[in-house]
């Protein structure tokens, strides 16, 4: 008798799982496709080269920002962070919604100065970060620093 009940329960549960699985699969197929949006496309010799930012669903990917200025690494870092923030706001995000930042330095000796200017710019929950030194300079204008990031909207 116990064996029969177990068999019946197993079949019932298996059929319920199958129905639920089919429902989930049907819902997944019905979901609309997410389109990639690009913003401020830079052209090079009349051909698209890269976008300032790309949005996919609720994620936004910002291209590297850098600029050659007078001043030390703190001035450069602050400027690049302002450029990132401006682009984030433009696409409907913010510094507090940044998930990942990549920092490229011309000289690893600038690491501590960069950190001083970087500290606190992303709110009390800072994003994950990778920092690397690029020994042969950062194009296109021998920048001291360049950053890109991934955020959500």
Q: What is the pLDDT of residues 63-102, one digit of tens each?
A: 999 988 899 999 999 999 999 999 999 999 999 999 999 9
Contact 80, 66 (CB under 8 A): yes
More confident residue, 92 or 41: 92
- Average pLDDT of the chain is 82
Assign 3-class secondary structure to 115-153. Answer: HHHHCCCCCCCCCEEEEEECCCCECCCCECEEEEEEEEC
Q: What is the pLDDT of residue 16?
A: 45
Q: How confident is the model at residue 30 (pLDDT cuts 50, 70, 90)?
A: low
- What is the model's pTM? 0.72
Architecture of domain 36-152: 2-Layer Sandwich (3.30)
Of 56, 65, 75, nearest to 104 (Cα)? 65
Q: For 101-133, how does the pLDDT look when each residue is reduced to its tens digit (9 = 90+)?
A: 999 999 999 999 999 999 999 999 999 999 999
Domain boundaries, the chain: 1-31, 36-152
């Amino acid at each position: 008798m116990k064996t029969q009940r177990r068999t019946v329960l197993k079949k019932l549960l298996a059929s319920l799982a199958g129905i639920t699985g089919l429902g989930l699969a049907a819902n997944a197929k019905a979901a609309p496709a997410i389109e990639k949006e690009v913003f401020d496309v830079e052209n090079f010799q009349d051909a698209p080269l890269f976008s300032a930012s790309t949005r996919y669903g609720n994620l936004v990917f910002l291209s590297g920002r850098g600029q050659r200025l007078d001043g030390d690494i703190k001035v450069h870092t602050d400027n690049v962070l302002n450029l990132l923030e401006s682009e984030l706001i433009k696409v409907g995000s913010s510094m507090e919604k940044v998930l990942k930042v990549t920092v490229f330095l011309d000289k690893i000796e600038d690491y501590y100065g960069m950190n001083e200017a970087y500290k606190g710019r992303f709110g009390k929950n800072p994003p994950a970060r990778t920092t690397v030194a690029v020994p042969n300079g950062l194009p296109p204008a021998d920048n001291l620093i360049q950053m890109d990031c991934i955020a959500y909207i």
